[in-house]
Amino acid sequence: AQSVTQLDSHVSVSEGTPVLLRCNYSSSYSPSLFWYVQHPNKGLQLLLKYTSAATLVKGINGFEAEFKKSETSFHLTKPSAHMSDAAEYFCVVSGETGTALIFGKGTTLSVSS
């Protein structure tokens, strides 16, 4: 069965410093992987997706993620945090049938000035 584990429930950074949100996945086949962001009381926005093409995926707002099959990881990074990046981030893997998305429990990113 597919599953995803977000290793940190909260991450705090200062504005202008790098961001690292960690995600490990488990899948019986080559999955599709996604990162979504949710701002308070808002819907979810797709940041980026991996679909077995390039292992380094670039997304919106300067975020990127690297798929590492040997480590079963899909960590999200950004070189320099901005105050507007403060939000909840979800690492997501496609389900076995492909119809459902399997969500991690989320990582809350706080950015201080």
Partner 1 sequence: NAGVMQNPRHLVRRRGQEARLRCSPMKGHSHVYWYRQLPEEGLKFMVYLQKENIIDESGMPKERFSAEFPKEGPSILRIQQVVRGDSAAYFCASSLRSAELSLAYEQYFGPGTRLTVT
Distance CA 92, CA 113 (A): 29
Q: How far is the CB of 61 from partner 1 (least distance, A)?
A: 17
Residues 6+ apart with CB under 8 A from 90: 6, 35, 36, 37, 38, 44, 103, 104, 106, 107
Q: How far is the CB of 97 from partner 1 (least distance, A)?
A: 6
| Chain positions contacting partner 1, by CB under 8 A | 30-32, 34, 36, 42-46, 49, 51-52, 90, 94-95, 97-106
Q: Which is nearer to partner 1, 9 or 70 (CB)?
A: 9
Whether the CB-CB separation of 74 and 7 falls below 8 Å is answered with no
**Residue with smaller CB distance to partner 1, 73 or 107:** 107
**Token couple for 51:** 């679909």
Nearer to partner 1, 12 or 52 (CB): 52
CB of 70 to partner 1, least distance (A): 20
Backbone angles phi, psi at 49, to 5 degrees: -145, 150
Q: How far is the CB of 80 from partner 1 (least distance, A)?
A: 27
